[in-house]
Amino acid sequence: MIGAWLAEAGGPLLSGPPTHLRTVEADKDMNQHVTAETGDPVGIDSARREDVVRLVNLKRRFGATAALDGVSLTVQKGEILGIIGRSGAGKSTLIRCLNGLERPDSGKVFIEGREISRLGERDLQPLRRRIGMVFQHFNLLSAKTVEDNVALPLKIEGRPRAERLARAAELLQLVGLSEKAKAYPASLSGGQKQRVGIARALAARPALLLSDEATSALDPETTRSILALLKDINARLGLTILLITHEMEVIRSIADRVAVIDAGRIVEEGAVWQVFANPKSEITSSLLGGIRPQLPPEIASQLAAGEGAETILRIDVAGEAARRPLLSELSASVPGPFRLVHGGIDHVQQQPVGTLFVAIPGSDAAHLAAVIAFLKDRGARTEVLGHVAGSV
């Protein structure tokens, strides 16, 4: 894929001479719009200049399969948007439509205000240089040194060697690999290879960085370091990032917003902490299952409908509701015993998000209703999971 991608990205650079990476204010200019060679603003949606990406009712079919089925989405300048879904949900087709390697059957793809889905190859070339790609399997050229891999997009553009190497040196310093400039990919660890891939994606000063499962082939510790690097690049340079993943932990670690895709449709979208706190769709709840507190199996296996010695209640809280001394207030306001059996409070995007599992003894329906009403009034979501025959 990288061969086709880089080949299609060739041609003279339109944005003028490069600025120095170490000047953050100058590098933020890389997110400014680049028009066609004539400077003609025709085709630019001026009302959407702050949307680096805008997708409108995107559809793409392969035979009887709808890979994309009416996807509409925006990515604003400087934000990190995570798109998550299971295998076959449409993530790969979506990212190929974004970089012009796949044409939708219908709908529109705007990059920095310009609709690209019907452009020819000649017009796509300068726009593709505004998009950097980070791949799952690195896609480095084994016969080239690290610095030559980083400088490859600039070589395809026809930039002088001295300029290419200077830019590569800047980027290798940024990703912490200056000492590896003369090394070959075979001598690098997986994390180091991905850092090279990130540096290469930044070589042409893109307005948008696409990350396609960039951490899926890495161990957890290396994944955390790569995500921290991407977050730092976003903060320092104001670079817009769209990342594709199937891991909610990746979304939690780095994204500002999340869009959940399933069967070619965006089924849920919002700020990460809000989606984590209150998932609306079954697929989102399933994807969150591994990182949100769940009732321990030894308790869940005892749940039954009807009456029992204790009722198990799930309480979801977020934001202000999670900052309150909720259980203390419950104890003071609704007389009667209860026990905390599992759960906890975490923080997502600096917002508290938590799930608590409470056991309420007895089968007093009025008492249970009073507990639920109190919690609802305090902004908590509750669900009766069932009853257990004895104490758990």
- Based on the fold, state whether residues 255 and 306 are members of the same structural domain: no
End residue of a domain, out of 288, 323, 350: 288
- Based on the fold, state whether residues 268 and 302 are members of the same structural domain: no
d(CA 350, CA 332): 29
- Based on the fold, state whether residues 249 and 302 are members of the same structural domain: no
- Based on the fold, state whether residues 336 and 361 are members of the same structural domain: yes
- Based on the fold, state whether residues 61 and 173 are members of the same structural domain: yes
Strand partners, 268: 260
Q: Residue 87: is it exposed, middle or buried by C-beta count within 10 angstroms (0-12/13-18/19+)?
A: exposed
Q: Are strands 265-271 and 257-262 parallel, antiparallel or unpaired?
A: antiparallel
- Based on the fold, state whether residues 203 and 325 are members of the same structural domain: no
**Amino acid sitting at position 13:** L
For residue 213, what are the CA distances in angstroms to 91, 183, 226, 230, 333?
10, 25, 12, 13, 49
Q: What's 216's DSSP letter?
A: T
Provide the pLDDT for residue 118. 86
Q: Which domain holds residue 366?
A: 297-388
- Based on the fold, state whether residues 254 and 308 are members of the same structural domain: no
- Based on the fold, state whether residues 205 and 312 are members of the same structural domain: no
Provide the pLDDT for residue 307. 76
- Based on the fold, state whether residues 145 and 283 are members of the same structural domain: yes
End residue of a domain, out of 288, 319, 353: 288
Q: What is the CATH number of the domain that holds 357?
A: 3.30.70.260
d(CA 153, CA 142): 16
pLDDT truncated to tens, each residue of the chain (392 aa)? 444 444 433 332 223 333 333 333 334 333 333 333 323 333 444 444 489 999 999 999 999 999 999 999 999 999 999 999 998 899 999 999 998 889 999 999 999 999 998 888 888 888 888 899 998 888 899 999 999 999 999 998 899 999 999 999 999 999 999 999 999 999 999 999 999 999 999 999 999 999 999 898 889 999 999 999 999 999 999 999 999 998 899 999 999 999 999 999 999 999 999 999 889 999 998 998 878 888 888 888 888 887 778 899 999 999 988 998 999 999 999 988 888 999 989 899 889 999 999 999 877 888 899 999 999 999 999 999 998 887 66
- Based on the fold, state whether residues 216 and 79 are members of the same structural domain: yes
Note whether 245 and 215 are within 8 A (CB). yes
Specify whether the backbone of 111 is left (phi greater than 0), alpha (psi in -120 to 50) or beta: beta
Provide the pLDDT for residue 151. 95
| Residue 37: both structure tokens together | 């060679």
Note whether 107 and 61 are within 8 A (CB). no
Q: What is the CATH number of the domain that holds 184?
A: 3.40.50.300
d(CA 295, CA 385): 10
> Count of CB atoms within 10 A of residue 377's CB?
9
For residue 89, what are the CA distances in angstroms to 78, 80, 228, 268?
26, 20, 27, 13
Question: Whole-model pTM?
Answer: 0.80
Note whether 19 and 27 are within 8 A (CB). yes
Angle at 15 (CA atoms; ends 13, 21), nearest 5 degrees: 100
d(CA 150, CA 322): 46
d(CA 363, CA 383): 16
- Based on the fold, state whether residues 229 and 121 are members of the same structural domain: yes
End residue of a domain, out of 229, 253, 288: 288
Q: Are strands 51-62 and 65-76 parallel, antiparallel or unpaired?
A: antiparallel
What are residue 380's phi and psi, to 5 degrees? -95, 150
Provide the pLDDT for residue 217. 83
If one counts the domains in the chain, the total is 2
